[in-house]
């Protein structure tokens, strides 16, 4: 693939990727460009501890070392990664696959796939967005996934880190498999992001009147 410019936009004021509705007064500017392989991209996440940026791409995952500005492509056999989040306290990252309703774990530094598929989220559904967070209620690390045709799904990151790869298909349509999750009774969430240590911000479609709303949600309820 021919390298092309990958534009990295960071805020001068405020946290990276803070929701615009909660970042009034913040200013954004292009501070630099990084060469990266060609390809469309979807969502991005930053590991603030390890100073690495991960981007879901049409071919797999792009990892950017924010200290050295080196970009490394991790192809996944042409599988499109929709959303990607780092697993806190490790070098692992979890990505949702756009057309397979599945999740994949790989080493964020080497690109080695740890388990090709660790969970089947159920047919007829498309993952929209996800976040990793530490629960203020029990202190555990979780991952929350927003979906097109299912409620929010909460995964325990310890379960994901310890999970073997799935080797057999589910037996019927719409059946989930692999790592189990907790269905959270919230439907219509299109995007979600961490706001602070106790709250998440969500963009959701109101089922009653069809309006598009931005709300904050307490993480102790998730």
218: helix, coil or strand? strand
How many domains would you assign to the chain? 1
Query: Does residue 65 have a pLDDT over 80?
Result: yes
More confident residue, 138 or 32: 138
Per-residue pLDDT band for 160 (boundaries 50, 70, 90) equals confident
Query: What's the domain range around 29?
Result: 3-221
Q: What is the pLDDT of residues 13-40, one digit of tens each?
A: 333 344 444 455 566 778 777 777 777 7
List pLDDT tens digits, range 88-117. Answer: 788 889 888 876 667 788 899 999 887 667
DSSP state at residue 150: S
| For the chain, percent of residues with pLDDT exceeding 90 | 31
Considering the entire predicted model, what is its pTM? 0.61
Q: Is residue 197 classed as helix, strand or coil in its secondary structure?
A: coil
Q: Report the greatest alpha carbon distance in the chain.
A: 52
Phi-psi region of 40 (alpha: psi -120 to 50; beta: other; left: phi over 0): beta
Q: How many CB atoms lie within 10 A of CB 188?
A: 19
Q: What is the CATH number of the domain that holds 151?
A: 2.130.10.10
């Amino acid at each position: 693939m021919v390298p092309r410019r990958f534009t990295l936009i960071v805020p001068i004021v405020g946290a990276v990727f803070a929701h615009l509705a909660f970042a009034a007064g913040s200013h954004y500017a292009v501070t630099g460009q990084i060469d990266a392989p060609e390809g469309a991209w979807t969502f991005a996440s930053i590991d603030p501890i390890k100073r690495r940026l991960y981007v879901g791409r049409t071919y797999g995952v792009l990892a950017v070392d924010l200290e050295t500005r080196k970009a490394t492509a991790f192809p996944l056999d042409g599988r499109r990664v929709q959303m990607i989040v780092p697993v806190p306290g490790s070098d692992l990252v979890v990505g949702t696959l756009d057309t397979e309703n599945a999740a994949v774990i790989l080493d964020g530094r080497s690109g080695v796939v740890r388990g090709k598929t660790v969970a089947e989220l159920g047919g007829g559904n498309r993952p929209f967005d996800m976040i990793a967070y530490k629960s203020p209620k029990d202190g555990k690390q979780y991952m929350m996934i927003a979906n097109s045709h299912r409620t929010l799904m909460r995964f325990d990151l310890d379960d994901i880190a310890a999970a073997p790869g799935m080797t057999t298909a589910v037996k019927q349509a719409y059946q989930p498999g692999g790592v189990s999750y907790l269905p959270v009774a919230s439907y219509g969430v299109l995007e979600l992001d961490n706001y602070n240590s106790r709250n998440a911000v969500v963009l959701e479609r109101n089922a009653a009147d069809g309006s598009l709303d931005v709300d904050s949600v307490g993480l102790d309820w998730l």
